[in-house]
Amino acid sequence: MAEKEKIDSQDHGSYNYKMFNFFNRKFKITEVEPPEDVKAAFSEYVGGGSEMSADQLRRFLVEKQGDVDCTVSDAERIVERIVRRQPDASTDAPHALKIDDFFHFLFHDDLNGPITEKVHQDMTAPLSHYFIYTGHNSYLTGNQLSSDCNEILVLHGRTLTSPVSLLKCLKSIKEYGFVSSPYPVIITLEDHLTPDLQAKVAEMVTQTFGDMLYYPESDCLTEFPSPESLKNRIIISTKPPKEYLDEEEASGMETPNNSAEPDSDYRSDSDQEDEDFDVCDRKSGQIGSPEYKHLITIHAGKPKGALKNSLQVAPNKVRRLSLSEQEFEKAAASHGTHVVRFTLKNILRVYPKGTRFNSSNYNPIIGWMHGAQMVAFNMQGYGKYLLLMHGMFRANGGCGYVRKPNFLLQKGPVSEVFDPEKTIPVQRRLKVKIYLGDGWRLDFSHTHFDTYSPPDFYVKIFIVGVPADNDKRKTKIIEDDWSPVWNEEFTFPLTIPELALLRIEVREYDKHEKDDFGGQTCLPVAELKPGIRSVPLYDKKGEKLKDVRLLMRFQFE
């Protein structure tokens, strides 16, 4: 085995690898240099000088970075934070950025990230106008059959998972449901309760949540309330008791049954979701609890009979329809515009098929392009599709609600709706330039990628969206460098940029084995800020790496 000796660890250093006592390989780690585009931007705004004032920085941010609302005070705060003041500098000396300071600012993702970190979309529209971060069986910690369950489990039917009391679940939601977002938590109950137990659940829910619980005055909503009006509120979605379902049956909705099919959603402590509990009792035959019925804000059901009938839009009420991924694929293929029309005012939930025992997921894009608000995911199953879900919901400040594009919210002049099968011309072109990357030497051990040499990094770039927009590119491999410089640009034509996601993955080339993973991220194209930006990377589980980031530029044409 090789023995590694650290020679120097200041701003730059070198590492000496002793290999089998035959020879030494010495690799120097140097501090990253500003790219030529960064130097050119600095020179353009300092007017021949060597320092950039706060006002000059403001002009750069407005004109080049598209931060049109930036004020001199905003720029002054950035300068104050970035400037590396000398010990003998006067306290009242004017602060300004040198080229290295300017580069440091651009490479600082907290100050110059790729997307807006605040809620900025209109939150006053009905819930049906939003994509909602939705989990499936989120109480599981692993696979769907025998994994352990955390404290928010009720019951996962026909499996070896152990139950947890409903009261524990409700108390957990009350305590943690709004830690990361003030927008509403939707609790979806898969109800197999007898009427007396429905009354008991109603009492538990009202006593636990108190004023946090929202429920409508009327039995049936004609339009869903808005996320803004439901801030810090909890709402219930389930099938109403059987005897109240006459109207729903007439429109193709399924009546409750005693099946134990899992049907769940939950909002985690880091993202907005909705929670489903399989609350069961095998007795039946009593009159339903009116108290329980009164608490149901979103009336839900599954298709019964012809699928097209289930997608009919009632003129005076709104509801939620749940489809498995297979049912949804059939509906999208045969009744695509009917699905879109249904989701203009009603809520559609798509959930993973039951055979995904390993908690894998499906492509969410097809759901979103048909207007499905709740594309439910196995949040405990990692992979590229869950990464896409994370990417979509980084939009709008990560609050868990993303407003659907206008074309999925409106009818045309003759009441036509968006047709997902229709060919659309290119609307915009996205130019992505990858300058360089840094931080691996801080987040990984120096032998993590290669035992005897520095890593050989390259970047894979994907556009994931409607079929016409899907694309992928790859940079060249930079050999033996902890701080690789690529300086490569790619152009992506987009027909529906509103649904496009930019997926970025760094790999370390290995000619003998599978290439090593070096970080990834996924970003909503519609939210990308123009200009030179710092892009932080995440590990395979979606946890942010502390120091690894890329310097990139985004331009729209």
Catalytic residues: 136, 156
DSSP state of 2: -
CA distance 276 to 297: 14
Q: With the C-alpha atoms ordered 31, 32, 36, 42, is the resulting torsion angle positive or negative? A: negative
CA distance 481 to 439: 12
Distances (CA, A) of 288 to 128, 163, 194, 201, 214: 28, 25, 8, 12, 21
Helical H segments across 298-423, by residue range: 307-310, 325-342, 365-369, 384-392
Q: Considering only CA atoms, which of 513, 438, 538, 442 is closest in space to residue 478?
A: 438
What is the chain's percent helix, strand, coil content, to nearest 5? 25, 25, 45
Distances (CA, A) of 466 to 330, 424, 470, 495, 498: 17, 10, 7, 8, 10
Is-contact 70 63, C-beta < 8 A?
Answer: no
What the block records as the tokens of 66 is 């598209």
Is-contact 241 296, C-beta < 8 A?
Answer: no
What the block records as the tokens of 316 is 């005076």
Is-contact 502 461, C-beta < 8 A?
Answer: yes
CA distance 323 to 308: 13
Place of tokens 């896409």: 388
End-to-end CA gap in the chain: 53
What the block records as the tokens of 7 is 């020679």
Chain CA centroid to CA 520, Å? 13
Q: With the C-alpha atoms ordered 289, 291, 295, 299, is the resulting torsion angle positive or negative? A: positive
How many Cα atoms are found within 13 Å in the side-chain-facing hemisphere of 87? 0
Is-contact 368 392, C-beta < 8 A?
Answer: yes
CA distance 164 to 152: 7
Place of tokens 């070096």: 518
- Laid out side by side, the sheet with 516-524 consists of 471-474, 457-464, 501-508, 516-524, 531-538, 544-556, 428-438, 485-494
Is-contact 14 7, C-beta < 8 A?
Answer: yes
DSSP state of 303: B
Helix axes 72-82, 54-63, angle to 10 degrees: 110
DSSP element (H, E) containing 80: helix 72-82
